[in-house]
Amino acid sequence: QVQLVESGGGLVQPGGSLRLSCAVSGFTFSNDAMSWYRQAPGKAREFTAYISSTADGTDYADSVAGRFTISRDNAKNTVYLQMNSLKLEDTAVYYCQAPRIGAWGQGTQVTVSS
């Protein structure tokens, strides 16, 4: 069975940094692209970042481009989201997804607050 487990969220001040992790099992991780989405309070879930299976292609939402970096470690079956220069509007539950299979993790809460 497919499992995606996000971790690394927490409380951070504006301008701070945080690195999220998503540990994957139940499918061949190295063959699949991965994405991060986020859902702010009262808002729809929105695309945040994408990385191809070989990590040679990435894509970011305009709202996070230049501040967030997606990466992966295929030896650890893990995808990461490095978040720098965090803003109040980055507050959300962050979810990882394997687009091919459409499964979601449980999410990890990121709260940016002064």
Which pLDDT does position 102 carry in this prediction?
87
Taking the alpha carbons of 84, 56, 48, 6 in that order, is the dihedral positive or negative?
negative
Beta bridge partners of 72: 79
E strand or H helix at 25, and its extent? strand 18-25
pLDDT of residue 17: 98
Averaged pLDDT for residues 12-26: 97
DSSP 8-state secondary structure symbol assigned to residue 29: G
> Tell me, what's the pLDDT at 81?
98
Q: Give pLDDT tens digits for 73-113.
A: 999 999 999 999 999 999 999 999 999 988 899 999 999 99
Alpha-carbon torsion (40, 64, 83, 101), positive or negative: positive
**Which of 72, 91, 93 is CA-nearest to residue 82?**
72
**Cα(29)–Cα(45) distance, integer angstroms:** 23
What tens digit of pLDDT does each residue of 56-81 get? 999 999 999 999 999 999 999 999 99
